[in-house]
């Protein structure tokens, strides 16, 4: 898994590539990266899943932990560009009822402005 960070309109965007799974853990997890941004005062986080082709239960846990950390600090975490296969995983785990998920990055970015 490779994660690149960029910012647009005061939103921190994490572009994730590869598979989000336990065996791919490097020095820093997705949740740790999100927490680092929150500690810097960044409260609007967008996870771009365009290049993610697999996620296991560990990955689902990372996203949920990131969401909870963001929520607890008064921020918003949203997801964009999730494949149909991954969206099914979010449906089965009921995370579609909790997370804001957008088909396009621009729509997700605009949603931050409305809040």
Element (H, E) at 93: none
User: With a threshold of 0.75, does the pTM exceed it?
Assistant: yes
pLDDT of residue 44: 98
Q: Which long-range CB contacts under 8 A does 35-40 form with residues at least 24 apart?
A: 35/66, 35/69, 37/5, 37/12, 38/69, 38/70, 38/73, 38/75
Summarised one tens digit per residue, pLDDT across range 59-91 is 999 999 999 999 999 999 999 999 999 999 999
- In CATH, what number is assigned to the domain containing residue 44? 3.30.750.24
Task: Report angle CA 105, 90, 93 to the nearest 5 degrees.
Answer: 155
Beta bridge partners of residue 48, listed in sequence order? 15, 80
How many separate domains does the chain show? 1
User: What is the extent of the structural domain holding 48?
Assistant: 2-113
């Amino acid at each position: 898994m490779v994660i690149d960070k960029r910012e647009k309109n005061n939103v921190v965007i994490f572009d994730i590539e590869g598979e989000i799974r336990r065996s791919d853990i490097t020095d820093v997890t997705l949740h740790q990266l999100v927490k680092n941004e929150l500690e810097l005062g960044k409260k609007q986080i967008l996870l771009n899943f365009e290049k993610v082709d697999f996620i296991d239960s560990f990955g689902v846990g990372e996203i949920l932990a990131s969401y909870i950390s963001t929520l607890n600090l008064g921020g918003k975490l949203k997801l964009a560009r999730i494949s149909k296969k991954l969206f099914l995983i979010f449906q089965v785990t009921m995370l579609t009822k909790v997370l804001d998920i957008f088909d396009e990055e621009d729509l997700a970015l605009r949603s931050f402005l409305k809040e």
